[in-house]
Structure 1
């Protein structure tokens, strides 16, 4: 139940406000309740959820729970109604002994988001302990000669309760000889005393049996009794008397055995044996006193005999008796109060409660990682503890309540830099010399997906020969992810797009796990010289991260196309080349020209022409240009030459192996008086044409040299870049392609058919690569030059 009374309730509210203000930054609060000890199981303590401002429906989802330090499971919370109730028996005396204040401190933890509240439950005392005397019987020996108003010390009762429940009143059974004198000071240092009110007469009364009753102030009140058996002695009528009734001594804890505590001095007015005094502990002294101190019966010296520990007993109350050797003996009493002084002999104690086994690397600053409580059994400055952390860690300690701290995140984490922290908490007290204790907290940084897969370079160049087998492995892409576990599990895929009229996935594929790139079908250099596409790498994190890499696949030419003849006919189709030739032509006259093209490129498209030997071994009056395909006379024709000449021209490329085609040329020789004139006119025209084309050929030669120089420079730069880049791999990858110098070419044919040179964007053709473009330009210039030369000769 909550504390009652307007004044006390206002005080608690003020204390609660101050504590809430002090713990505002960590999201902590404090609620105070109070219950009586020995409350039954299930006893209502308070509506903790309502008092903390929490909704009942969010208790379970937010992992509402309670932790208490060194308090077992005295209190529990019903998560259905948010009520704090008593879970097991609470004994205030066992929990707090005789401390004036007794409370159970609870730490209420709520996750999602994490909040920490402090709840203090005050345990109220009930009168459940009766007064207890040191013994149930006490024997007193009193001389009959003792004067009136003589005092006889008695050991009072003790009550384990506190406050009014421990406030004792004494009552002596009715008698005519003795009255009871009770001390009036709060400390009750002066013992209870029997006061003689009527002279004793052993001959009348030799023994008295009295009952001393102690009653506490609880409701209902409890009592304890001790029987006093008084024996009346004769003769020795002077008892020993101490200098003081009470001696106050200060003693350092952990004093060595044999350390002198006090030397007592008592006097007896009698003489002889009646005045010889012996010292001893009172008969009802506790066993702890006899184990910790010893007394010399003759000298009265009290010395340390065992362990003196401030944390166990702070104040010793020792009853001393002085007895003479009279017959009967007489007794004197005094009390020694030994105050134990604390020394710094206890190091602080640390208790670490980890709330998070691991913390995400993207956790915000202020996240609570662990709860730390500090205790020191010393007192005063020796018990003032300060806590600190190992330097240069992204954490800090935040004081939440008294000796309670929270270990919270102070700055951002990065698992890729450091994935585990060993945080050392040091607690140091204020003693001299100070003592310290350390505790290690292991904080594991959990990975979040904050790193995308990364390729070694943004672009790769791959060379593949055309006509590769389907499913051929041409390259392997590999991306690395700095994260861990599924966040670093990389899968690969194509970035789909159109290549002309077809999808990219019809040309290539990539293995999702290994990153191997395969050509799904044979590639054709004449159809596709460059295939450029992107491969995407994505991790398995949530959300996933990814990156792309560009692959440039150059399809290298193979000699897979034979030369194709361009013969007259419908649409340039196949057939024999027929030509009329006048017999009057001179030697070296061009009479016909065989034209052929090759769909390949480079050496594979460089054509040469050969004239096959005539049947029967006859020597033909014609020859063919090795690279031009021009058929010219080797001598002047005469009447002996057959009127119909059938020539077989073999057209061959420079591939390995070379491919060929055969052209049939039919020449008809005719006698005509006008033919020589026409031939003459043709020769005259040819001479004029050659003169007109001299300048053009000069410019073409200059162009050839410039293009050749640019080609050589480009190839050198391209080779340097390729050597500096990592070598590309591929099961179908060829060696270096063969290049042809333009100076070695007399004439070649090169057909620029309709083909798709490369794939860029969404099916949009891209110009061929620089080396291929320069070679094509060089070949085109050579063709123009040869055409001009042929035109000049005709």
Structure 2
């Protein structure tokens, strides 16, 4: 099979001068795609000529790859399919596209001539880096034409805008609208550019007065209180970064006790208290405030004395409560610390220099005491982490003399664990049973724990029988660190309850061992459930006792009935004898 490529395909052509030929006559030709496309715009006739059946669009698909096949009259392939590549050449059929409806640039009013103020980048969908996609830019209109037309120029092929004639002044006009023609070889498009003029910061804030006098406050004045309003003005454009005023204390308040908030509408400054005032450390302060703009001043303009104001802050003394050196005091001690051990200390000072006395509140367990003078805290009773691992008490510091003002803080005592609890069963095992009679050795599983911290005991218990006499009947095997299995060694057990002593060792430091009783009941089972007689309770007779009582009752009743029967018989005999005697003594009647 041969292939001859004659020319490239262009939009609107009806055929592709591409021809394939089989060496012998009678071949039947067909085309099929290499990859499935939304549409396949080619066909082939039985002469081997390939045609374009639909318009081609390079922006949709710039190339096609497909195969031409030749078969004989029976449909048998005559040769391997021939791969054909078609490249779609671009034509200039797309106009330039503006990047947005309006492109916005901003420029300061003191911008120098020739400065770049922005770039307009239009787009053309035709093939890149060809004559069809090269764009040119030209300003066709400036609105308004104040103070003159032609204030801006644009680089023809880069789209870069520059200031052409003079520096801009916002008072002339705050905004310019430019109409820009963007063109390629055949098409033209109008794009729109908006240039906003930004006011420059060439005016400094000026205080309405330079000295606000003396300001007297008590040292316990509330935080957040507004204590003074100051005012400066700025001649730059209102409500811009050039005219907004920020007030900053530059002298007299190294502790940052004061702050100044600015009203965004009026530029008034509200002096507030940010931290507590302190007569003892700063009774009198000479405060210096500077008014500034958040936006930098232009070159050649600097702040001067007109942007400064002062006032004197006088703080009066107030009797204050003691102050603790920390917000919260914390300590850690082992739970086995001896009674009388020092566990921590607190410190507080009175601002007026008075002595301080310490006391405790909330010592609900009675574990601690505090030295009233030194603030040392010690134990007065045994500590127990298992009862309470984090113990919180309130410490009260009261000034001695004066107004007896006081302050409180928390003392947190963390108790660290020691291995002082023997192991125990994790629950009360009342439902352990084995079916009676045993057909094979059986077993039950149980779990151990103790009340010490897991990190100390490590969940590594060891288990053993608590009595050597049971070793022929029972055995204990460990399953894991907390679980074990109690198993029978034979099947010859009675139908009753067995209390098996189990010895458990926690392996701690020092190791503790406990012996527990594990109840196991042998009982008759029905469908896997245990049915066993109720256990004897105090005051309730057993079955044997009940039977004995019942028999005794029947015996007593029988004796009573026998006695009654005998007496009745005797009485009948007496009555019969009396009747006979009476008859003998009576005379005969005819």
Per the normalisation by structure 2, the TM-score is: 0.34
More helix by share: 1
Rg (Cα) greater in structure: 1
